[in-house]
Amino acid sequence: MKKSRVNLKQITENYKDAGKNIKRRIVVCSGTGCVANGSKNVLDAFEKSINENGLNALTSLSFEHKTDNSIHISKSGCQGFCQMGPLVSIEPDGILYVVVDKDDVPEIVDQTLIHNKVVDRLLYKDPKDGTFCKGAKEINFYNKQSRYVLKSCGSLDPEDINEYISIGGYSSAEKLFNDYTPAKVCGDMIEAGLRGRGGGGFPTGRKWEFTRVEPGPKKYVICNGDEGDPGAFMDRSIMEGNPHSVIEGMMIAARAIGADEGYIYVRLEYPLAVARVKKAVKDAEEMGLLGDNIFGTEHSFRVHVMEGAGAFVCGEETALIASIEGKRGMPQPKPPFPAQSGLYGKPTVINNVETLATVPLIFRDGIENYRSKGTDTSPGTKTFALTGHVANTGLIEVPFGTTLREIIFDIGGGITNEEGKIDNSMFKAVQIGGPSGGCLTEEHLDLPLDFDSLRSIGAMVGSGGLVAMNKNTCMVQMAKFFMDFTQNESCGKCVLCREGTKQMLGLLEDIETGEATEDTLILLKELAGAVQKGSLCGLGKTAPNPVLSMLEQFHDEYFAHVIDKKCPAKKCTALLAYEIIEEKCKGCGLCIKKCPTGAITGERKQPHHINEELCIKCGACLQACRLDAIETGV
C-alpha cells in the first residue's frame, strides 16, 4: 500500500505563517570555525539575555503556538567570512556583527533589539578606508560574490527540515519522481551542463546516463564527502549548513539512474557535518521523504551515512567504494568504471557534495537560469576556500569565468605583507587546486577561472583551494609542503607513486638545504613525468603538478637555490648567512649566551662577530638580540 504524499506546500505555508509574528531573527554562524571560536556560547547568551529583558526568545518556530513580537534565535552553517567569526546577523535590519563574544550579547540586546541602535564597534571595518559596514551588502567580501549554492548555508537553520522545505526544498525531487522519466532527468542534466565539482569536471549528466543504461535492478548513489585537500572546507560547510540540499540531490540522482539506496561518505574529522547529516537523514525519513513509496510513488530510496577514517586517497572513486565495502581504501584499475561495476559490483553514481547540492537548484530555478551564470563550457558557480596572504580569508562562491584579479583584490581585499597590512605590490602567486593543482602568477591575474582555461596552462580547479602568497614565500618550500602531503597520503599500491613521491620530496629537501645541483632539477622533472604517467589513480597522477608548475613559473628562484645557494625569500635557513651589524651591536653578550655552537665571539661592550663555519643557522641569536643588530642575508 502506498503512503500518502507529503504535502510540501502545506508545510511551507505553515512555516511562513508561524514566522509572520516574528519581530526579528538573530542568526548566529555555527559552522565549525565559528563554533571553535565560541558561537555556541553566543547563541546561549542571546536566549538568556533576551528573556531577562522581558522579550520572548524562540529557538524554533512552532506551527501550533504563535507569539506576537517574538525574536527568533537560530543557528546557521558557515557564513563564509571565517576570519571574522563568530558572526551574528540580525534581520530584517540587515546588520552583521563580527568577532562577537558572549560578553557582547547584552549590549547587542539593549542597543539593537530594544533601542534600535547599531553597535558600531562590532561592525566590520573596511581596512582600506576605515569605514564601518552595517551589513553584508556593504562588504566587498560578500557583495563581489555570487552566492548560489552557499546562499542558504549562511541563513537557514541546518537542523530544521521545515525551513528547508519553506524555501522550495524537496520540491525538485517531488516533481521529478512524479512527472519525469529517468531518461528525461538525465537529458535535462546533460543540457544544464553541470560538471563535477570534485576536481575532474566530468559532465554530471553523462555520468548519470552511463549508469542509467546499465542493466540490473540494483544500483547505488554515493555522495563523496571525503574532502581532504589542505585548507579546503567547501564540502564540509555545505554538509554543515544545508545537509538537506545534498540529500535532495542524491534523491534526484537516484531517480535518474533507478537506484533505491545511497551512501553519504563523510570523513571522521568532520564531526559537526556528520551529526547534521545524520539528523537530516533521520528527519527526512520520519517525514516520509526517504524510505518506501516516497512522494506517494512506487519508488523507494534509503540513505546511509558512513564515516571515513580520513585517508586522502579515499576521495578517489574506487578507493572510496572499497572503504564502504569494508576493505582497505586503495584504488582499482579502470575500466570497469563505477557506472558499470561500482559498489558491490553494481552500477554506481558517485558525485561530490557541491555537485549534488547544485542539482536541486537547477531543477527548481530552470536550466536557462543556471546556464546564465558562468561560461558556455563551465556553467554555474564554484566555491573556493580563499586563504593565505589576503586581507579577507574564508569561503567564497563566484561564477566560472571570474578572474583571479577579482578574487584576490576585490573579494580577498588585497595582498598582505608580513605585518598583515595591505600591499598589493607584494603579490607573488596563487596555488589553485591544492596538492593536485598548479601555480598561477601575475601573468594569470586576468585569466578566467574555469575548467578549460586552467587546464590549458597546466593547472586545474581541483576541489577549490586557493592559497595566495606574497613575495616573502619560498616556492621551494611551498612545493615541498604539497609533496610532503601527497607522499604521506599515498596508499602505497603502485611503485611510482609510493617511491616516486618519496624521492621527489628528497630532491626538494636537497634544494632547500643547498645540497642540490643542476642535475637535481633535471632528475626532478624526469621523475615527476614518470609519476604522472605511471601512477594508478588521480592522487599519483596529479601529485607532481605543484612541483612542475612552480619549477616552470619560478625557475629563477629554483636556480638561485641550486647555483647560488641562496633563498631569495630568505626562508630556507640552511642558505641564510647571519651577520652582526657593528654599528648596532653594543656588546651585551646575549647572543653569545644563546648560541649553541659557540659561533659568536667578542669582548663585552665591543661589537661581536659570527664564525660562519660554526654557525648552524638556528636563529637563536636573532631571537635573543634586543637591538636588531643581527640580520640574515643571502
User: Are 131 and 125 a contacting pair, CB within 8 Å?
Assistant: yes
The grid coordinates listed for 102 are 558572549
Quote the pLDDT of residue 100: 97
Distances from the Cα of 475 to the Cα of 302, 421, 567, 574, angstroms = 48, 22, 10, 15
Burial (CB < 10 A; 0-12, 13-18, 19+), residue 327, is exposed
- What are the Cα distances from residue 527, in Å, to 173, 429, 516, 547, 592? 49, 24, 15, 11, 45
Residue 585's pLDDT band, with cuts at 50, 70 and 90, is very high
Q: 483 with 436: CB under 8 angstroms?
A: no
For the chain, percent of residues with pLDDT exceeding 70: 98
What is the average per-residue pLDDT within 119-125? 96
List for the chain the helix, strand, coil content (%; round to 5).
Answer: 45, 15, 40
Percentage of residues in the chain having pLDDT higher than 90: 80
Please say if the pLDDT value at position 38 is more than 60.
yes
pLDDT over 90 at 170, yes or no: yes
Q: Which amino acid is at 130?
A: G
Residue range 117-140: mean pLDDT, rounded = 92
Give dist(CA 582, CA 604) in Å, integer. 13
Residues 6+ positions from 586 with CB-CB distance below 8 Å: 605, 627, 629
Q: How high is the pLDDT of residue 65?
A: 55
Mean pLDDT within 226-230:
85
Pairing of strands 57-58, 609-610: unpaired
pLDDT at 286: 95
Residue 1 has pLDDT above 50, yes or no: no
Residues 6+ apart with CB under 8 A from 392: 81, 83, 140, 141, 386, 411, 412, 413
Give 618's pLDDT tier (boundaries 50, 70, 90).
Answer: confident
Q: What are phi and psi of 580, to 5 degrees?
A: -95, 125
- Whether the link from the prior residue into 333 is cis, omega within 30° of 0, is no
Question: Domains (ranges, CATH) in the chain?
Answer: 15-134 (3.40.30.10), 161-371 (3.40.50.11540), 381-473 (3.10.20.600), 476-564 (1.20.1440.230), 576-633 (3.30.70.20)
Confidence class for position 67, pLDDT limits 50, 70, 90: low
Alpha-helix residue ranges (DSSP H) falling in 139-270: 140-143, 161-166, 171-179, 182-192, 204-212, 234-241, 243-257
- The Cα diameter of the chain in Å comes to 97
Please provide the average confidence, as pLDDT, over all residues in the chain: 93
**Neighbouring residues of 341: CB distance < 8 A, sequence distance ≥ 6:** 347
pLDDT, tens digit, 9 for 90 and up, residues 387-401 = 999 999 999 999 999
pLDDT value at 562 more than 80 = yes
